[in-house]
Amino acid sequence: MAARLELVTEWTLAAPIDAVWAELSAVEHWPQWWPYLRAVECLSPGDARGVGERRRYRWATRLPYTITFEMRSTAVEPPRLLAGEARGDLRGRGCWQLTEIAGGTCVRYAWSVDVDKPWMRLLAPLARPLFVWNHDALMRAGGEGLARRLGVPLLRHARCEGGGVSPARAGSGR
């Protein structure tokens, strides 16, 4: 039985949308600014926009375990949307949405995944709050790292309830 996690994070950065997009779309550079991300490996290129690209991500966490999964890009709409499907220790969909706002950019990440590591599946009914806390800590570190990379303040980090990945948008292939 799978353990579903619906996780939504928002960052507000005092940076223009194009600068934020440039960093988020350069996935191969994430380990330079995102603590806990140990490696990103390109497994296969996608089309000219990056749709269909496959990458393997290896994450350390605040807790004593690692997470490895592959992500296949399903939608790339510069400078507003990056979406993909994950498989591995986590299986599901993720979607980055960028919105230009007064004084910066709002970045929203929706992550709707099933936990596929056997021990995590087994413990999920009890450990779910720890998994959510861990995800939030990694996302906060990512927001802070991205802000440092851009040389701007992270104005806001928030874990939001509900509002998971939009399957139509995340898997549109546009």
Residues 138-150: tens digit of each pLDDT: 999 999 999 999 9
Do you find a cis peptide bond into 79, omega within 30 degrees of 0?
A: yes
Residue whose entry in the numeric block shows the structure tokens 């969909």: 93
Q: Dihedral (C-alpha) 6, 81, 92, 73: value to the nearest 10 degrees?
A: -160
CATH of domain 3-170: 3.30.530.20
Residue type, 10: E
Helical segments of the chain, H only: 17-25, 30-33, 118-150, 167-170
Farthest CA pair distance, the chain: 45
Residues 126-142: tens digit of each pLDDT: 999 999 999 999 999 99
Residue whose entry in the numeric block shows the structure tokens 């992270």: 154
d(CA 164, CA 95): 9
Residues 33-91: tens digit of each pLDDT: 999 999 999 999 999 999 999 999 999 999 999 999 999 999 999 999 999 999 999 99
Residue whose entry in the numeric block shows the structure tokens 């230009």: 100
Q: What is the pTM of this model?
A: 0.90
E strand map for 45-89: 54-59, 67-77, 81-88
Q: Is the dihedral of CA 25, 27, 32, 38 positive or negative?
A: positive
Q: How sure is the predictor about 172, in pLDDT bands with cuts at 50, 70 and 90?
A: very low
